[in-house]
Every structure is written in C-alpha cells, then in structure tokens.
Structure 1
C-alpha cells in the first residue's frame, strides 16, 4: 500500500473496532472517517469520495444474519455503483460475507481480524479503486475527444475515401483487429477513433499509444504496467495500457517502428490475452480490440527483417490503406472549407471563403504532410489573414516551378534565404522524403530522437 494515500470510511457500531481500525491504518491512509450509525451513509457518500469502505454486517445486538449489511451494501452501491466495499464479519459469518460479495462487495474481513490480512485486503481494494478512477478519467477524456473530434470528421467524396469509409463501416461493428496503413498526416488515428465510435465498445475506453515515441526501455512498463519497486524509479504501481483499455479499444500507433525483440513480446501478450506487469508474479487477463497503424510501405512491412510476419497476421485481420492527399485532390477544397469554418468559430471570426487563386493553389499543392499539414495551414491563415477572403499569400506553400498553378504568382524564395525556421522545415522535408517518411531513419540522419522529430514535424505542420 502506498504511504498515506486514499480516504477510508469505517462503518461499525463497535467503537473498539473503529478505534482499532484507525490505529492500524492511519500510517497507510491520508484520511480515515468513521461512523457507528449506517444511517449517515447517504450523506457521507454525497459529501466525500471514499476510496474504500469497511462495512459491518450487523448493527443491532443479537443480529447475526447479515440482513443489515446486505441492506446498506445495496444502498451504497445504488448511490455509487463503483464503490469498493469490504464487509466486516465474524468468523461464523463467512458464508454470509460470500453472499455479500455476490451482491457487489469487493472482499471481506473476518473478526477478530489479523492486522496483516486487513492491510493486504485494503491495499488490494485501494488499487482497484485507483484503477476504476483511471478508467473513468480515460472515458471522460475520450468523450471530450469524441466531442472535439466531431469537428475533425472523416471527410472526402473521392472514390478512394469512399472505399475507406465503406471498409470502416463494415469492420467497425466486429471485434476484428485492424491495421491502418498510410503516410504521416493522412488521418490514421482519426480512422481508428471512427472504428471505435462505430463499434460495440464505443462506450468503453479508447486508449492510444504512440509506439514511435516510447523508449525501448519503457515499452513493457507503458504497455504491461509495473509494480512498485520493479525497477529503479518505480515509486508506485502503474497500470499498463493493455489493462487500462480493458473492455475497450487499444490503438497502437507507429507499430512499424517497434524493434523486432519488442514485437515478439507484443505478439506473445496478444496471443495469450494475458499480461504480467513488471515485478508481478501473476498474469492478468484482458479484453481489448487492437487497432494498429504504421507509415511503413506495405513492401517494408512484409519484409521479415523489418517486421515479424506472425505479428502482422495477428494485427491485419482487416487492412485499411489511407490514400495521401495528393491522390485525392478533389477532396482538398472540401477539407479546407471545413477547417476554415472550424477555426473561424474557434477564434471568434466571421467565416471566409477562398479566392479562386488560393483554392487553385492549395488544390495543386502536393501536401507532403497530408491532411495534418493542410489543417495547420488553414489554421495559420485564419489567424493571420487580414483580407475579406483567403488569398494565395496566406499559404506559404513553397512549391517548385513545375507545380505552379494558373493565375498564381511564380515568385519563389531566393536560394540564399537564410531564415532558420524555413531552412529547418526544408531539411526535415528532405530527410522525410529521402527515407520514404520512415520516422526512425529520418530522425537518425537528422541527429534527432523520434520524439524530437515528431515535435518539429508538428511545429512545421508536416
């Protein structure tokens, strides 16, 4: 049990039990509240967020059938369905306590109790409550993201996008694992969220983890979790992503960047559907739907020296290939107008249209950063443009001469331009193109970590 964490409520009509509980547990809990009158429970539950409740089974002299304990247990769970309730019973009432657990109690303690048993039982209860709170927080965050992402709908009328939407609609209601392929910025996470939102797990957690940004040494801790003291720096128990997403969807982004030896560990866990946190002795079952994504080209993904084929077969029950924006030019105007409205509302501005020249410019641009880059360009234009409608000058697209468009100025940055921000953007673009948008290889050539490269790509809208 972590030092002095959590709020405990002890409900027992015996003052000696309440005092003994306080003396035993005060070193382990931040706060302990006691009451000898269970009628105070509704008010106490309304005023406090208890991490665990110790509840006696009998409150009247001569009572031993546990009826009062059952009654108040039901009252507690009707007010807080996630409440962690530990029943207190005499040794002769163990069968009654087991019945209480069938009604929703978490555990029981027989009195006269053993101190070690009480501490161990309460420790497990506090861990359960912490897990519940983390899951609830994730659900709320996912709902917030879902509300926010309504402005980031999967847009496109092109045949390529209509095909993607059709596959999403057919695959979403199933529990099949899905592998999403596509360049950076094509909307892989957005598709993953659409799959979750249209699935039978839509009311459960959507957990996303960017494997390209997770250090190899932290992979098992992040995904599987760890126990306090499992390694240097493990100051407390940590719930891994697999268990945190239990019942919901786990999105493994940039799975193609995972080294082969870690791919083997991921495969084992997915096959067994059980995970053992670092420092733990027992494995735990989990139930998640796995959606994975990578920017690796299919040829590299099917290269056994780059990616385990048995893991690939585990992940790609359904495979979705997202087209780059340059292959769906007819969708650019639709996407641009959508985000122009979104950002106008966000920054409290009147909606604006695009001049014909500006619309031609963004339509003919190849958008190496795909939809993400287009979105950032629109947001920048909304913030900085001072004209009644968006003009070509609001979009510094830096196109080479062969990508000029009718009616637009052909002026370009001079070769001797020494602006550091623009030079950094060009260098990053060059490295990404050279390595086929493989983040690991581009980062290595640039002398950066993957995480640092991701930050710079985000900065420049790539």
Structure 2
C-alpha cells in the first residue's frame, strides 16, 4: 500500500461513462490513482503496462449483451497473466448467475448496478487486501490458490470487510489464528481462506472436529498411535497433526479438547514435535494451526475450561465472526447467492421473490446464521412452485417481528423409509433449536458426536 494507507492503482473497465465517473469518485479515497477504461482492448494495454492492485470489470460491453462473454473472457485473460490480481465484477442487478460464474472463474467479488457506494468501497477494499496478500506468495503457489471469492465468505458489510482485511493480513504469516463465532457463521470458511492465501497453500489443510469425536479417542486422532498401544490398535496410525506436516491444521470446536490433553497439545506446538500414543520416539512436525470455537471469549478465558497458556499459543491473531443478525445488509447477497447455487444444483430456473420477501428475510433473526439461511434457501428452491417465493417458503413467519419458523410439523405422508425419516427428524431438531448442536442433540437423545455423524451422513 502507498502513502496514508492507500492502495496504489485501481483500473475501472466499463463502456458507460457515467459508471466510470461514479466509480472513480467513490474510490479515489482508497487508491492513489484510479484509471478508467471504456473498452476491453484499452483495458488490456493498461493492465499489462501498469500491473494494478485491482480491476473493477464490467461483465458486458457489446450493446444489448447480457451473456457476459466479453467480461468473463477478459477476467480469464487478466488472471492468466497475473494470478495474484484481484478482480471485482460489475453485473446487472438481476445478473446473479453471471456473478456466480465470475467467482468460479477467479473473481474476488462482484457489485451489482446500481450500487451503493458503501457496498462498492467495502467490496473493493476487501478484494484489494486479499489480492495484496496473494501477491506475497510464490508464483507457482498463487496459481494453486483458490480465488478469494471461492471461500463463500459473502458480504460487503463493514463487519465482513473487517473480516476479509484480517484474513488478508494474517494469511501470509505463520501466526496461529483463533476463529470465534456462533454456530453457522462460517468459521471453517475463514480457516480455508487463511490456508488458501498462505504460503502453505500447496500443502494439505487437515481438519479435525473435536466436537464430533469421543473424548477417549481424541489423543489417538490428534497424535496417532503405534501398533499395540491399546486394545484394537492393530497397526500404526498417523495422527492428524503429523498428517498436516508442512500445511495447516484446523482444530474445529477446540473448546471440546479435554483439559488433560491440553498440555500435550501445548507442548507439541511449542516444541514442534509429537509423540504418538504408545511410541518411544518423537516425530518432528511443521504446522500452522487455525482453531475455531463457538465458546464465548469469557468462557475461553476461564481456566476451569481452557488452559490460558494454550490459549495464548493459539490466538496470536483472533478473528471473531459476527452473527448474521448483526450484518443484515448481507442477507440479500447471501439469498441471491444460494438461490442461484441451489437452482443450478437442482436444474431449475432461479426463482423470483414476491414483494416484501427480501425485507422480511433481512429482518429475520436467523438463529442458525448462514447455515440456517442456506438450508432455508435450499428448501425454498425445492418446494417452491412457479409463483414468486414468499417469506413462508423460507420458513419465516410474522409474529411480533419476522422470526425463523421452528414449529415442528409432522408431514401427512406414509413415507416410513428410515433414512428419510431420520433426516427429517434431525433437520427438524436443528431448526427448532436454531442449529444449536448441544440442544438439538439433547432433544434427539444423542451425543454431540452422534449428531455430527448423522448431519454428515445426511448432508446437513
């Protein structure tokens, strides 16, 4: 970045002079220079000669065109020449399918016309930060790194712009990162983005969900074991820590790590060596740790639940994801994204929304956060008819205010297939308790680990 915290150069490419002027005025405080181009050929020359920090690129140039052929081709041309370049696509308001396709091909984000300046600046700022972090990687690693947009961390709110900026600053370093947030806020997506934009991106990211493993098995899962270490240890087994050697270890639900194992993990992180269960020799490891938990900061800092020396080792950088109710301005973009995603998945046209529906969805509490929104959108796509979707199609009902409908409805069908019945019961319990895993597991008479296994089995 240049002086006074500004990025260097932004290139805006659009055939509408009013759009070029509006973008230049909105972004001049963020960049030392904003260059505008009215045609693809001009944009190619400028980008090749100047190597900008970011390109803001229109999807269509030919009069009347809506297929985005020129914009997508230009996007691929830019990224082939400079894999670290951040590109934000400009789409028509109804062009969410174009935006999804652009992000599949490597765009960092998109903004829809007409835009709000706050949305434009937030999208461009976060994309520029991510692009800057990618350019610190070796060229061969840049090409293997998924585009920033592929993380599915969707949102241009100030809260999400801060998250993207933190990821952009932390990812290229070797610092361990602790990700905090309620269930369903996207903690694993943050972990994947950190790995994808790190110098370890070409190596594996190994995940272990400590909330889905029986406590007595965690030692072996983390550190591995040798043959004969305990009953049923019929062969040597490499643990998750050793499997992540050279890459990233994602410790999900770190708050479930038993207290008696926390000193062993701390020693492994400090000495960068582990001892498998039953072994006599240490094994050297080179890992970067990203941990996540839905525990509150206060609970984490209670030594009765978590060792403070281990916490200090894990939270060199701390990223706290906001619940969806604290970034309601992102709901519309998430709804558009998942409607397009699920419509493509099920081979259907992207459904329209009835008047007032988006306002009701944006005002809903979404106790299960983005995960609940994703499932509600999938259900709406599957069950919705030809008429525009209403809030009720998403499970939103009006009470004192829009809330997530968690009523338990027993379908009047004679479907007694055990797998399908189990899936319905699990999904009903999750929705009823706002995707609170512990509460849903208690109602179903399951352990958290057993519920996690059933969720994975049924794709929930």
Does the TM-score normalized on the shorter chain lie above 0.5?
yes
Q: Give the 3 Å change call, closer, same or farther, for CA 432–264 of structure 1 in structure 2.
A: farther
Match of 1:320 in 2: 319
User: Could you tell me which residue of structure 2 aligns to residue 361 of structure 1?
Assistant: 360
> Which digits, 9 at most, give the CA deviation of each residue in 1:242-273, with x for residues without a partner?
11110000000000122211222211211221
For 1:220 and 1:372, locate their aligned partners in 2 and report how far apart those are by CA, in whole Å. Answer: 30
Considering only CA atoms, is the larger Rg found in Structure 1 or Structure 2? 1
Deviation at residue 231 of structure 1 after TM alignment: 1.5
Quote the RMSD (CA, aligned, Å).
3.2
For structure 1, the residue ranges without an aligned partner over 5 or more in a row are 1-144
Equivalent in the alignment of 2:346: 347
Closer, same or farther: CA 422–286 of 1 in aligned 2, 3 Å: closer
Question: Compared with structure 1, are the counterparts of its residues 194 and 243 closer, same or farther at alpha carbon in structure 2 (3 Å cutoff)?
Answer: same
Q: Tell me the TM-score normalized by structure 2.
A: 0.60
CA distance in 2, matches of 1:310, 1:448: 33
Q: Mark the CA change 1:198 to 1:283 in structure 2 (over 3 Å): closer, same or farther.
A: same
Q: How does 1:38-117 map to 2 (within 5 A)?
A: none
Once the two structures are TM-superposed, the CA of residue 390 in structure 1 deviates from its matched residue by: 2.4
TM-score (norm 1): 0.60
Q: Which residue of 2 aligns with 1:276?
A: 275
Residues 283 and 189 of structure 1: CA distance in aligned 2, closer, same or farther (over 3 Å): same
SS of the aligned residue for 1:154 comes to coil
Equivalent positions of 1:119-138 (< 5 A) are none
Quote the residue 2:224 is aligned against.
225
The residue number in structure 1 matching 2:245 is: 246
Pair 440,283 (structure 1): closer, same or farther in 2 beyond 3 Å: farther
Partner secondary structure for residue 356 of structure 2: helix
Inter-CA distance 423–212: structure 2 relative to 1 (3 Å threshold) = closer
Which residue of structure 1 aligns with residue 5 of structure 2? none
CA separation of 1:149/1:241 partners in 2, compared to 1, >3 Å: closer, same or farther? farther
**Cα distance in structure 1, aligned partners of 2:408 and 2:218:** 44
Counterpart residue number, 1:401? 399
In structure 2, do the counterparts of structure 1 residues 432 and 272 end up closer, same or farther at CA, with 3 Å as the change threshold? farther
1:431/1:446 contact within 8 Å kept: no
Structure 1 residue 455: Cα displacement: 5.3
- Paired residues of 2:212 and 2:453 also in contact (CA < 8 A): no
Deviations along 1:121-179, one digit per CA (max 9) or x if unpaired, are xxxxxxxxxxxxxxxxxxxxxxxx98799655211111111111110000000000000
Q: CA deviation at 1:423?
A: 8.5
From the superposition, tell whether residues 367 and 260 of structure 1 become closer, same or farther in structure 2 (CA, over 3 Å): same
Q: Does the 8 A contact of 1:431 with 1:445 survive in 2? A: no
| Alpha-carbon contact 1:376-1:461 (below 8 Å) kept | no
Give the drift of 1:346.
1.6
Which secondary structure state, in structure 2, belongs to the residue aligned with residue 386 of structure 1? coil
Task: State the aligned residue count.
Answer: 308
Q: Distance in 1 between matches of 2:324 and 2:307?
A: 29
- Where in structure 2 are there 5+ consecutive unaligned residues? 1-143, 412-420
Counterpart-to-counterpart distance in 2, 1:356 and 1:306: 48
Distance of 2:243 and 2:258 partners within structure 1:
23
Deviation of 1:355 after TM superposition, in Å, equals 2.2
Q: Report the secondary structure of 1:212's partner residue.
A: coil
CA contact (8 A) 2:365 2:402 kept: no
Matched, 1:186 2:185: yes
Equivalent position of 2:259 in the other structure: 260
Match of 1:157? 156
CA–CA distance in structure 1, aligned partners of residues 337 and 395 of structure 2: 20
Please give the alpha-carbon distance, in whole angstroms, between the structure 1 residues aligned to 2:148 and 2:214: 28
Deviations 1:263-309 (A, max 9, x none): 22211211221011122221010000000000001111111111111
- Residues 150, 379 of structure 1: CA spacing in aligned structure 2 closer, same or farther, 3 A cutoff? farther
8 Å contact 1:151–1:342 — kept in the other structure?
no
CA distance in 1, matches of 2:347, 2:434: 36
